[in-house]
Chain A
Amino acid sequence: MPRFWRRRHDDGHEPDDPKAVPIADARARARVRVRGEVVQMRTRPVHGLPSLSITIRDDTGTATIVFAGRREVGGITLGRRLVIEGVAVDSNGTLEFTNPAYTLLSP
């Protein structure tokens, strides 16, 4: 089993991690941590398989997070604040994370 699966969720960071950057400052293709509120959730089938696409927003912008193969992710609901850490792709000007590590913050 590749190591990356194991390290995915052992996130030892405090929720209000100072390393989180404003979404507008986050760059594609570098490991970044952003914090924002879930403002949109969408399940869209991709080739017949489920895929959960959520949008988070902070004061500076929005980012998209795709959880492939999932209809829901426990604890992620509209209005929930999240810390997302991963490497994003620039998808037409919006950062898109695929299966990133996430931390649920208290509402």
Chain B
Amino acid sequence: MKVVIAGAGSVGRYMARQLLAAGHTVTLIDQLPSVRQRHTDDADGVAWCVGDACEVDTLTAAGVSDADVVAAVTGDDEDNLVIALLSKQEFGVPRTVGRVNHPNNEWMFNDMWGVDVSVSTPHLLTAVVEEAVNIGSFVRLLNLGAGKAGLAEVTLTESSPAAGSRIDALDLPRECTIVALIRDRHVVVPRGDTGLLAGDEVLVLVTRDAEADVHRVLVG
């Protein structure tokens, strides 16, 4: 996959390294030539493009025309929106990812602005803290499909109606799938005959409409 990352700060560079290691072709865009100079050894094998990613010319030079994914991860929400919109509107990029810096701006990161997937650090942090303190409750970890579905997590308590049941015996709605269990720090790939136990962290992919049903089955 060809990935273009706009914003070569710590987030952008980290992503570039990870994606490169995973075998993807990565181009980083940053406005400041000094950023590139400081980090030349940092991301060996990553193509760099110095310029303003809010300009069509820079995006063209970075090869957005045939990119599979554009990730707009600058520290500026306005820029991230413009980059996502340009990628979609001017280059028809199939998948755009936008980083939300300020949680109040999250509502704008949707297809109106050409954003397919938004990632909000404040939102993720809140979710993780919630998960750490709220055993037995339903925690949304990640929104997918412009918020129509998401990945949620429930840590089962003794009182959960699902504790002690097999997955295929649960009355789960069709609009959800249990995608993983974390038991004693090990990830268990669930099958129908997998039994759920109190203390299991259950990761479930669920549409927004079916959340209440999943909540009823797993939390009670």
Contacts and interface: CB of A to CB of B under 8 A. Distances in A.
Interface in A17-55: 28-29, 46-47, 49, 51
B195 to A, nearest CB: 40
B66 A29 contact: yes
Contacts of A3: 55-57
Interface string B143-170: 0001100000000000000000000000
Interface stretch (B31-39, B105-113, B176-184): B105-113
Interface residues of A, number: 19
Contacts of B93: 89
Interface stretch (B17-25, B83-91, B128-136): B83-91
A4 B92 contact: no
B112 A4 contact: no
Contacts, number: 48
Contacts of A90: 92, 94
Nearest to B54: A2
Given A2-B56, A89-B94, A99 B66 contact: no
Interface residues of B, number: 23
From DSSP, what is the main secondary structure of chain B's interface residues? helix
Nearest to A50: B112
Given A47-B146, A89-B94, A4 B110 contact: no
Given A29-B92, A51-B112, A87-B91, A4 B56 contact: yes
A68 interface: yes
A89 B112 contact: no
A90 B175 CA distance: 26
Nearest to A28: B92
Interface in B31-75: 54-57, 65-66
Contacts of A69: 112
26 contacts: A2-B54, A2-B56, A3-B56, A3-B57, A4-B56, A28-B92, A29-B65, A29-B66, A29-B91, A46-B110, A47-B107, A47-B110, A47-B112, A47-B146, A47-B147, A49-B112, A51-B112, A69-B112, A86-B90, A87-B89, A87-B92, A89-B92, A90-B92, A90-B94, A98-B89, A98-B114
Interface of A: 2-4, 28-29, 46-47, 49, 51, 68-69, 86-90, 98-100
Which 7 residue pairs are nearest across A and B when measured between Cβ atoms? A87-B92, A29-B92, A89-B92, A98-B89, A68-B112, A47-B110, A4-B56
Interface of B: 54-57, 65-66, 82, 86, 88-94, 107, 110-114, 146-147
